[in-house]
Structure 1
């Protein structure tokens, strides 16, 4: 679980810092388009549930689906991150013919694990339902358990498509298709008044999503055969890193990098770097990441379950509504992370330190540009936002303000956990996520019984800051990386001006309310877009 020694001496090179940003930016734009639609659909889904059903029913569904998502994180065994990491390295070192074997190695055990977890959830549905309260909880959990293997298969297949820099599959299947189907089914159930079918409406779309993702992945893998990969313009940036490249070849070879062999460095048995990956190599990377992913999902969704257990289903419904703005913001975050993840793996495999640092700082600026407007608006207009879910949810305004303040800080700290994972240090990533989960659970136990949803929001912010600060410190110690620079400062200044100072001035002048919120969002969005366009060179937004 300890860190691998990695010493970097930064020296001038001929490699342009951040090389390959245009590819990441193009993928991020595709993801962002899907993220906007997905965020709107998911927000509409939550609003439909909270307005069409009682707080107890909404809280039950939110709690049951949180259990489902935590179990899915357990069942995928880290296969999605492992696939991105190893497929990216195979592409860098010219070994695309090894991808089908890697898919069989990863997806077989992941699907079997999902079936086992699904069976366990079916058996444990009764005791879990007793803890949650209502008799309907067991039926909800059993229906969700049936679709868990399809969720795992879809997640892993979509990760493999992103490793090939194809972001359109994730957008069409996961960001638009699945939430649109969920919204349509929930709307039909709301009209029929049969709340017992809510779990089926929420989980059912995972089945067609898995089928489509698997079919689409097959097409991508066939297209990306050895001949197609050789004709593709250098996956690792301007320097050619061919199939015979060794540890001292490629960009950054003379920059002072010294790294212990990590996952994917398969010399010895295969004699060639980037060749076929053994099960031991794959799962030694994936399993620690799986446990870290479980801890991370526990932080994101465990708060809903903790509030349901410690404060009742009504409190769980309020907390879920208050944290929806964070979930909406995560779609924007994922738009950048999904596009950057394979590129980080390629740059790290090619030992291009300048490229990694440039992408790290530019990616953080993009995150701030995308998410700060949302969180600043939620912070300033928290009461108005909560009224969208219904009058009985107004009590969640304090929780919403706390969540937004925490997310503003978390986004400016950057994507350190992703970079840490792509260096192969999944043990450190696991440690960080476990520490984050422990902080969340401890704070929930202390604060939720007294402060309800607001206490859970404080616990969530504490967990997010632990997960963000630890890898930031570790990366500064190991690879001399940090997110701070002129791009981030420019992005933060634009967000504070158009979504902080302007809304506060409008609220002071008009007394707040929905008209002030709408005006602030409209004017702020236009001003922010104009500022970002004016600063596009500084923000590395030229594709």
Structure 2
């Protein structure tokens, strides 16, 4: 009896502690996510401006050539990083939380040294393979220079990427976004604008890409030093290299499989349909991928929390937070999805009138990315809960499927076939990962409260289609898109936020007012 009474007496406090912890984590995710979100707004603006300048400045064919080379560069980068971009977050965040500076220094040095060394080797390989790649992959230009210069840039590209993940491990989300998504594209945009103003051509733009990558790598090294001065101190580092690599190396397969999903379409369009098709498809892909914007911001802040909660056995809190993030992602993603799908021809025309024909591509890809965003951080949930091997096999299977579907459908339907193949592979991959997550952890992210943003998106989409059919192109920008967004917000407000979201919104609003009054 006394044992039971003692247990009952402790239970309310235990429950209270658990309940108190969840809002703390939710606040941490939202604050970290808002930091990434604000930084990502700048990144998206810079990235969008860069794509428009390249598309308008060089046309579909040369824009396609650059996009093709960049796709190859990013695939080779995933090989070069050895999965350490995730390993440094997994173990770096843990060492930082524990205050173990020696282990943190060892992790950073191992990640930087191994990744950059692999980048040098792979860069040399890419440079030497450039003539063969140009002969096999480029139907219109057959110019190896893009691969040669990107091979030179590769080690710097890898180092900047790993530096951004070191900042993420330290909880510095804004620095992470700056290094990963803003600095190099901003420098490249600046240099490209100058090149176009001076009347220089596409080759000079490729040299500008290399210069921007070198400068970004230098800034990355300086940023990591400022965030973690012991990195270059006399502190003796400690590192469990075997554990780091055991976690990281399988993620190479996951990353390559993910790249196969993300890049196989463009890689195969080059030899099968030519650089012009790559340019048109890339423009549509760049716009549709914006639907992962909120997903990216929240995942960056959520990833360290997943590891902390799962490995401390607090799976109920983890499940609730995962469901919360999926709902927040839906709230922020669905209005943009309505705009991209309904007003696709006008949005594609931003790259130039010749890109307008890619509206169907944008609609197909946007539909697939709605499913990707609606699955939330499922890939990170699997990886950070030590089920990275399953994530690898799912992504590897979908990458193989994607290659096969692209090979068949591009020859049947051209560039539209690439969109169908890639969209199908993305959807199936996320469905399998959601099943695997539930199978291993009994966690799934869907709650009944999702019906409100879905209803708001349905109402907004209906109004948007009517306006698209009735209005001229300019009026769609001035009237159609704003009205569609207002309808979404109005319906959402009429339905009301959930009590949990309302409490969080009130807290965020109070914090914003405090900052404005300060």
| TM more than 0.5 | yes
Q: Which residue of 2 aligns with 1:492?
A: 454
Q: Which moved more, 1:452-461 or 1:195-204?
A: 195-204
How far is the alpha carbon of 1:538 from its aligned partner?
4.0
Cα separation, 1, equivalents of 2:110 and 2:223? 19
Q: Which residue of 2 aligns with 1:107?
A: 112
Structure 1 pair 504–133 and aligned structure 2 pair: CA distance change class (3 A): closer
Higher helix share: 2
Q: Which residue of 1 aligns with 2:311?
A: 349
Cα separation, 1, equivalents of 2:472 and 2:379? 38
Q: Give the number of aligned pairs.
A: 482
Aligned residues of 1:19 and 1:355 also touching (Cα < 8 A): no
Unaligned runs of 5+ in 1: 1-10, 226-274
Q: Which moved more, 1:190-199 or 1:463-472?
A: 190-199
Q: How much is the aligned-residue C-alpha RMSD, in angstroms? A: 2.4
Find the partner of 1:516 among 476, 494, 497.
476
Structure 1 pair 216–455 and aligned structure 2 pair: CA distance change class (3 A): same
Cα separation, 1, equivalents of 2:452 and 2:229? 43
Q: Which residue of 2 aligns with 1:260?
A: none
Structure 1 pair 396–106 and aligned structure 2 pair: CA distance change class (3 A): same
How far is the alpha carbon of 1:276 from its aligned partner?
5.7
Per the normalisation by structure 2, the TM-score is 0.87
How far is the alpha carbon of 1:342 from its aligned partner?
1.2
Is residue 117 of structure 1 aligned with residue 78 of structure 2? no
Unaligned runs of 5+ in 2: 1-11, 509-518
How far is the alpha carbon of 1:331 from its aligned partner?
3.6
Per the normalisation by structure 1, the TM-score is 0.83
Structure 1 pair 181–96 and aligned structure 2 pair: CA distance change class (3 A): same
Is residue 454 of structure 1 aligned with residue 416 of structure 2? yes
Cα separation, 2, equivalents of 1:323 and 1:133? 21
How far is the alpha carbon of 1:136 from its aligned partner?
5.9
Cα separation, 1, equivalents of 2:182 and 2:119? 24
Cα separation, 2, equivalents of 1:201 and 1:31? 27
Cα separation, 1, equivalents of 2:284 and 2:274? 16
How far is the alpha carbon of 1:462 from its aligned partner?
1.4
Cα separation, 1, equivalents of 2:230 and 2:492? 37
Q: Which moved more, 1:118-127 or 1:309-318?
A: 309-318
Find the partner of 2:150 among 127, 131, 144.
144
Cα separation, 1, equivalents of 2:206 and 2:257? 24
Cα separation, 2, equivalents of 1:426 and 1:276? 25
Q: Which residue of 2 aligns with 1:262?
A: none
SS at match of 2:38: helix
Q: Which residue of 2 aligns with 1:255?
A: none
Aligned residues of 1:18 and 1:355 also touching (Cα < 8 A): no
Q: Which residue of 2 aligns with 1:338?
A: 300
Aligned residues of 1:18 and 1:356 also touching (Cα < 8 A): no
Q: Which residue of 2 aligns with 1:73?
A: 78
Q: Which moved more, 1:436-445 or 1:190-199?
A: 190-199
How far is the alpha carbon of 1:460 from its aligned partner?
1.2
Cα separation, 2, equivalents of 1:441 and 1:283? 28
Structure 1 pair 492–90 and aligned structure 2 pair: CA distance change class (3 A): farther
Question: Residue deviations 1:298-324, cap 9 Å, x none?
Answer: 221221121111111111111111111
Is residue 306 of structure 1 aligned with residue 252 of structure 2? no
Structure 1 pair 203–136 and aligned structure 2 pair: CA distance change class (3 A): farther
Find the partner of 2:362 among 383, 394, 400.
400
Q: Which residue of 2 aligns with 1:153?
A: 159
Cα separation, 1, equivalents of 2:42 and 2:484? 20
